[in-house]
Amino acid sequence: MMWLTLRERVTLTIVGISLVAGIGLRVWQQQRSPIAVRMGVAPSEAASWDAQLAQARQIDVNHAALEELERLPSIGPVVAQRILNYRQAHGPFQRVDDLLAVPGIGPKTLEGFREYVRVQ
């Protein structure tokens, strides 16, 4: 004798599949956690590593080649070439905000890639 209706069996099946999928997602997320967290590194040290990693991902606009500049968000080959031309005509940039003087780079564009550039 069947004590569950078809609707109840379907509902339980969906709940079971959702539970298994949720557990699988959680395990997958734990496997992808940052090394610092898995190794039990102090939060301050992990923050230092994050800062170093962010700096390593930045490009120096005073030494970057055309191809590197083109990888920046909202910067295509034309604006990248303008950055190189401006740098050649006016010398190295002193601050990241100096990029606002390059034609085609406004405040909104600069904010879109500010975290990816530095001036040395």
The residue that leads in pLDDT, 27 or 105, is 105
The single-letter DSSP state of residue 117 is E
Mean pLDDT of 2-7: 84
> If DSSP codes are grouped into helix, strand and coil, which group holds residue 60?
strand
Q: How far apart are CA 118 and CA 96, in angstroms?
A: 6
Q: Return the structure tokens found at 119.
A: 């001036």
- Domains present along the chain, CATH in parentheses: 59-118 (1.10.150.320)
For residue range 29-82, list pLDDT tens digits in order: 777 655 545 555 566 766 666 556 555 678 999 999 999 999 888 899 999 999
Q: Return the structure tokens found at 39.
A: 């190794």
Residue position matching structure tokens 């997958």: 28
The residue that leads in pLDDT, 66 or 3, is 66
